[in-house]
Amino acid sequence: MALFNRKRTTAPAAPAAVLDADPALAALTGDYTIDPAHSSIGFTVRHAMVTNVRGGFGDYAGTLSLDGSDPSRSTASLDIKIASIDSGIADRDTHLRSADFFDAEAFPLMTFRSTAAEYLGGDRYRITGDLTLRDVTKPLAIDLTFNGSATDVYGSERVGFEGSAEILRSDWGLTWNAALETGGVMVSDKVKLSFDISAVATKG
């Protein structure tokens, strides 16, 4: 089911007509609010060249606007509070909030605003947008899998997505590191991002 703009590889316009006529797609048109209680936003980064550190953010808010009649008009927005970072070790989280890394006091929010979306086939999509971190804004592409929709036990319509992306933290000014005696550095520049999103239709 194509929620976003279908990537066309051939000239005929028939796929668009099929999308416009899809009643299941049209039924999902509307605004949705991300449900933090059933969602997660995480990261994985290589530590000391030999293992991975995983963590996430516990305080965030976001919205989706899905347009079944014109999927290219679908949008996504996300605001993440940096102070809510949690890697499982309090001292490490304090360091991550400091000016060496995120500088949460000076830059309390990380934001994402979508600018385009692309259908990749099956239930796979790619959404592109602007990621702002430490007052630096750069494009970010997130590969998504649409997990489907359902009416929950409270009668609310839900949609679900899983997503992933990779960034170089240095592109956003996160350059702190420490050299290892055996060679290499303490923290890799590459960071893997993961998104597991459940969003509830806005009523009224």
**Cβ neighbours for 109, distance < 8 A, ≥ 6 positions apart:** 79, 80, 81, 82, 132
Q: Give pLDDT tens digits for 7-31.
A: 443 433 333 322 333 456 677 889 9
Strands 51-57 and 40-47, sheet pairing: antiparallel
Can you tell me the mean pLDDT for 85-109? 97
Q: Give pLDDT tens digits for 54-87.
A: 999 999 999 999 876 666 778 999 999 999 999 9
The fraction of the chain above a pLDDT of 90, given in percent, is 66
Of 10 and 169, the one with more pLDDT: 169
The three-state secondary structure class of 101 is: coil
d(CA 138, CA 166): 13
Secondary-structure breakdown of the chain: helix, strand, coil percentages, each rounded to the nearest 5? 15, 50, 30
In terms of average pLDDT, the best of 14-18, 93-97, 145-149 is: 93-97
Q: How far is CA 203 from CA 47, 56, 77, 155, in A?
A: 44, 29, 18, 11
Q: CB of 173 within 8 A of CB of 136?
A: yes
Q: Give pLDDT tens digits for 124-142.
A: 888 999 999 999 999 999 9
Can you tell me the mean pLDDT for 106-123? 90
| Vertex 53: Cα angle to 81 and 104 (nearest 5) | 25
d(CA 201, CA 192): 29
Residue type for position 42: G
Of 28 and 36, the one with more pLDDT: 36
Half-sphere exposure of 197 (CA within 13 A, CB side): 27
Of 162 and 11, the one with more pLDDT: 162
Question: What's the pLDDT at 190?
Answer: 96
Question: What's the pLDDT at 24?
Answer: 65
Of 153 and 118, the one with more pLDDT: 153
